[in-house]
Amino acid sequence: MHPNLLEITDLKTHFFTEQGVVPAVDGVSLQVKRGGTLGVLGESGCGKSVTGFSILRLVRPPGRIVGGAIRYYGRETVNGEDLTALDARSEALRQVRGAEIAMIFQEPMTSLDPLFTVGNQIMEAILYHQDVSKAEARKIALEMLDKVRMPQPADVIKQYPHQLSGGMRQRVMIAMALSCEPQLLIADEPTTALDVTTEAQILELMRELQDELGMAIMFITHDLGVIAEMAEEVAVMYLGKVVEQSDIQSLFTDPQHPYTRALMQSIPKVGQKAAGRLEAIRGMVPSPRDIPSGCPFHPRCASFIADLCNVKTPRLQETKPGHAVSCFLYNDGGGINGV
């Protein structure tokens, strides 16, 4: 079996708007190990969600994948195939969505249908992928709600999303995502909207379920504290690109990119929640319609080298085994991808 479950190579997903092209994801390469956890970290707007949507081919016009490959080494339906090459409405992709790769979306309220009961929605997800009767689907739905430690699952199953608290809705989302035992769970800021206590519970629950089911997780967040708790590998994104990639140990003991270092300095104190959107680094994230020349981080960088960083674009390059960074402080800009 291939050691990686997912390999993204030079992915480009752009939005073709009337005001111009937005290169939301612009040359991202990532790997998710079988059963492992990859944390994807970065400020608001850097392309984390669009990367997640691209994997499941959920990018809607005016957005489009314009380059790169997403190889998924799953169970049987799609093995080593490039998901970007599949028809978005094909049976193969339908099998991948939900049954192989499931996603918990950033806004639970927008992804749960207010008009249907919680039970209906979980059952629908199960019936879509598994050849079971309605009664069996109901039983699985109850088991899943129990697994995510929903109090009184038999009552909750009859309720509508608005009747539940944020934490409960997030549990429903997780139950729904896990009901088909996916190989990969893409969790897009699954706890950002929750209070610290609920967040801690949900994170613990996800770790437990991961151990039990052996699934891999791609954990998208702007919160380094959450990354520290959940991830084994980390990709730090800035303006549609991965600027640093490392195992968690090396990232925390030896953060290299000035952007990563700045993020580290903005970790909220224990017990405090990060502001909903991270803006702790001086200056604003530039608009992706107007990406700075050279290294896109240079206008905000504390270590800016004039006539270099604003002129040449550094490439992601290994500085030690398993740790790569795109920054002229460390490399000559050659790049591990050889591009």
Residues in the site for ligand ATP, rule: CB under 6 A?
A: 15, 17, 22, 24, 42, 44-50, 62-63, 106, 222, 277, 288
Q: Which does 238 bind (CB under 5 to 8 A by kind): ligand ATP, Mg ion, none?
A: none
Q: Which is nearer to ligand ATP, 48 or 315 (CB)?
A: 48
- The tokens for 54 are 């691209």
Given the complex with Mg ion, which of 49 and 179 has the nearer CB atom? 49
Q: Yes or no: say if 55 and 101 are a contact pair by the CB < 8 Å rule.
A: yes
Query: Which residue is at the shortest CB distance from Mg ion?
Result: 49
CB of 220 to Mg ion, least distance (A): 7
CA 29 – CA 40 distance, rounded (Å): 12
Torsional sign, CA 101, 106, 111, 114: positive
Select 68 or 288, whichever has its Cβ closest to ligand ATP. 288
The interface partner of residue 84, options being ligand ATP, Mg ion, none and the CB cut-off 5 to 8 Å by kind, is none
**DSSP track, 24-70:** EEEEEEEEEETT-EEEEE--TTSSHHHHHHHHTT-PPTTEEEEEEEE
CB 38 → Mg ion: shortest distance, Å?
Answer: 16
| C-alpha distances in Å from residue 332, one per residue of 284, 316, 336 | 27, 10, 11
Q: Could you tell me the two tokens for 179?
A: 């009901």
Closest separation between CB of residue 184 and Mg ion, Å?
18
Contact partner at residue 161 from Mg ion, ligand ATP, none, CB < 5 to 8 Å by partner kind: none
Q: Which does 47 bind (CB under 5 to 8 A by kind): Mg ion, ligand ATP, none?
A: ligand ATP
**Beta carbon nearer to ligand ATP, 123 or 231:** 231
Cβ(6)–Cβ(35) below 8 Å? no
Residue closer to ligand ATP by CB (options 222, 300) is 222
Helices and strands, number each (H, E), in the chain: 11, 12
What is the nearest approach in angstroms of Mg ion to the Cβ of residue 330? 28
Distance CA 175, CA 137 (A): 13
How far is 292 from 265, CA to CA, in rounded Å? 23
Give which of Mg ion, ligand ATP, none residue 17 binds (C-beta under 5 to 8 Å, depending on kind): ligand ATP
Nearer to Mg ion by Cβ, of 13 and 49: the residue is 49
**In the complex, minimum distance from the CB of residue 334 to ligand ATP, in angstroms, rounded to a whole number:** 27
| HSE-up (13 A, CA, CB side) for residue 201 | 15
User: 199 by DSSP, 3-state: which?
Assistant: helix
* Paired strand residues for 221: 41
Residues forming the site for Mg ion (CB under 5 A): 49
Question: Of ligand ATP, Mg ion, none, which one does residue 50 interact with (CB within 5 to 8 Å by kind)?
Answer: ligand ATP
Indicate which of ligand ATP, Mg ion, none lies near residue 234 (CB less than 5 to 8 Å, by partner kind). none
Among 41, 96, 44, 31, smallest CA distance to 227 is for 41
- Tell me whether the omega of the peptide bond preceding residue 62 falls within 30 degrees of 0, making it cis: yes
Q: How far is the CB of 106 from Mg ion (least distance, A)?
A: 5
Give least dist CB 50 to Mg ion, A: 8
Q: Minimum CB separation from Mg ion for residue 178, in Å?
A: 21
Q: Please, which residue, 61 or 321, has the CB nearer to ligand ATP? A: 61
> Which amino acid is located at 7 in the chain?
E
Please say which residue, 25 or 215, places its beta carbon nearer to ligand ATP. Answer: 25
